[in-house]
Amino acid sequence: MARILFVQLQQFPFPGLYYICGALRSSGHEYRVLPTNRFGTIKKHIHTFRPDLIGFPCMSGMHREILRIASQIKNTFPNTRIILGGIHPTIHPEIINDPNIDFICRGEGEWAVVELLNCIDDRVSNVNIPNISYKENGNVFHNNMRPLVDPLDKLPFPDYSIYQSTPVIAADTYPAVFMTRGCPFSCTYCHNSNQKKIYNGLGKYVRSFSIERILSEVEAALHHYPNAMAVLLGADTLGSDLDWISNLLTKYHSRFGVPYTCLIRPEFINEELAIILKDTNCHMIAFGIESGSERVRKELLRRMYTNQEIVYAASLLKKYGISFRTYNIIGFPTETKEEMLSTLELNCQIRPDYPWCSIFTPYPETKLSEFSIAQGYLAKDFTYDDIPTSFFNDTILKKVDRNFILNIHSFFQIVVLYPFLFPLSKYILSMPHNRLFRLIFKAVYSYVCIKSERRSLFSYLRLALANRKLFR
């Protein structure tokens, strides 16, 4: 049977690979997952494993490094075939025009990858496989998209063992079990709206696994992640169906002693849900504030909840002793300094246990990037190649106060954790940005990660050293 080597540049579990590898296992194909960006390590595994195909899970922003490594692979192993999958080739299929890419997988990849390896086994050159784009005689062919898998329980059981030979990931204290696919919302900074267009007419976009399937996957994940302090019950959002989530969490609590964490929109948090979370051993929930300005949320982001709803949700979580994380973004187009400060002030008011803040990163073909271009915040020729690899380092918008954005980002977490620093921060924000400010951010960010993941400082440092062996 054909062999595929997955090379991922991310330093964390990639949930989509659990399911693709589960499908490959059910079909008899061999696979290996290699998390690294060191070409020497990749080269060694190609020599020993001798894959028929090398696959990269590809996220926007990471695609440039993936193409660089693909070029190195092709220069050293010219007959090796390379496929990209994930959100970037799904939204931007033109990436197949790169000379080092042979295939891309658009959309759900479980059966598409299996069928591609079947073609490789059968030495078929005309790859007529839905979701797969390929090259033949210098020409690019895009096959049609296949219907969305529904119900999701039709998918083969995922393989949660794929990272067991990678200590930095196998020691994860927060294994993720994804319960749903698709998001019912259409935020302007997210590719979700574009994906809905791609899948239009191909089935129900938002789907969920059955409760019994979810619990079986949790059991498998806990078996392969013995250091788990909590399980991330993954979904774009929960809480809209109170009966379903109550049934799921009650059964989860009766079956497992490990707490869980999940993502819930603030407008869904009411007293009944808070009681359910408390009674079922919830370790933490997370919700997106994004901006403390209702104007920014409603006019720019298409998130319609109010500050009053956020304060009420936080008060309920505090009342029932449920820790929570907030997700925040600063540096939007047209956002004023006062509106950025309102995001900081709102977080100081509700006192999240684990505050989190990023700098706005525009993605091409989203509503907010189109708005940014129209208003002169981005160049008209803005492309995916302009996207930074991290949303922590800098803003790429023009016509904004870069110094203020970088400073408020550097001090966001520490001020929320210690609100008495807020008056002092107003003076710091006007100072020239410098390396010390970034070091403060990195130190506090690491502290919040260690605290939320319930790691010891020693284990965190040990994993950091192990990580250096895999990633530059």
Crossing angle for the helix pair 63-76 and 39-49, to the nearest 10 degrees: 50
Task: Name which of 50, 61, 51 is nearest 83 in CA terms.
Answer: 51
Tens digit of each residue's pLDDT (9 = 90 or more) over 189-198 = 998 888 999 9
Q: Above 70 in pLDDT, residue 465?
A: no
Assign residue 143 a region: left if phi > 0, alpha if psi is -120 to 50, beta otherwise?
A: beta
Indicate whether 156 pLDDT > 80: yes
Residues 234 and 286: their CA atoms lie apart, in Å, by: 11
Rounded average pLDDT over 306-324: 98
Q: Residue 459 pLDDT more than 70?
A: no
Chain center to CA of 333: 23
3-state secondary structure 116-155: HHHHHHHCCCCCCCCCEEEEECCEEEECCCCCCCCCHHHC
Mean pLDDT, residues 283-295: 97
pLDDT of res. 241? 87
| Between residues 451 and 318, the one the model is more confident about | 318
Asked if pLDDT for residue 2 goes beyond 70, the answer is yes
Report the amino acid identity of residue 142. H
pLDDT digits (tens, 9 = 90+) for 325-354: 999 999 999 999 999 999 999 999 999 999
Residue 215 CA to residue 256 CA, distance in Å, equals: 9
Using CA atoms, how far apart are residues 408 and 447, in angstroms rounded to an integer?
Answer: 18
Distance CA 94, CA 105 (A): 12
- Integer Cα distance of 440 and 329 in angstroms: 19
Give the separation between CA 440 and CA 411, rounded to whole angstroms: 7
Read off the tokens for 79. Answer: 């007959």
Sorted by where each begins, the domain ranges of the chain are 3-142, 174-454
pLDDT digits over 40-82, tens only?
Answer: 999 999 999 999 999 999 999 999 999 999 999 999 999 999 9
In whole angstroms, give the CA distance from residue 6 to residue 84.
10
**More confident call, 178 vs 138:** 178
Comparing 155 with 462, the larger pLDDT belongs to 155
pLDDT (tens digit, 9 = 90+) per residue, 254-268? 999 999 999 999 999
Does residue 402 contact residue 394 with C-beta atoms inside 8 Å? yes
Q: What pLDDT score does 467 carry?
A: 53
Class of the domain covering 174-454: alpha beta
Q: What is the mean pLDDT of residues 5-9?
A: 96
Grade residue 471 by pLDDT with cuts at 50, 70 and 90.
low
Angle between helices 271-279 and 307-319 (to 10 degrees): 30
Q: Find the helix or strand (DSSP H, E) in which 412 lies.
A: helix 402-417
Cβ burial, residue 47 (10 Å; 0-12/13-18/19+)? exposed
pLDDT recorded at residue 426: 80
Q: pLDDT-derived band of residue 278, with 50, 70 and 90 as boundaries?
A: very high
Would you say residue 462 has pLDDT above 90? no
Q: How large a percentage of the chain has pLDDT more than 70?
A: 96
132-136 vs 139-142, strand pairing mode = antiparallel
User: Going by CATH, does the domain composed of 3-142 fall within 3.40.50.280?
Assistant: yes
What is the band of 36 on the pLDDT scale with cuts at 50, 70, 90? Answer: very high
At 293, is the secondary structure helix, strand, or coil? coil
Per-residue pLDDT tens digits for 74-116: 999 999 999 999 999 999 999 999 999 999 999 999 999 999 9
Give, as one character, the DSSP assignment of residue 421: G
Q: How buried is 228 (Cβ within 10 angstroms: 0-12 exposed, 13-18 middle, 19+ buried)?
A: buried
The 10s digit of each residue's pLDDT in 380-422 is 999 999 999 888 999 999 999 999 999 999 999 999 999 999 9
Q: What pLDDT is recorded for position 461?
A: 55
Tell me what the mean pLDDT of segment 438-456 comes to.
Answer: 85
Q: What would the pLDDT profile of 166-212 be if each residue is shown by its tens digit?
A: 888 888 888 999 999 999 999 999 988 889 999 999 999 999 999 99
Q: Is this prediction's pTM over 0.85?
A: yes
Residue 118 CB partners (closer than 8 Å, separation 6+): 2, 27
The pLDDT score that the predictor gives to residue 407 is 97
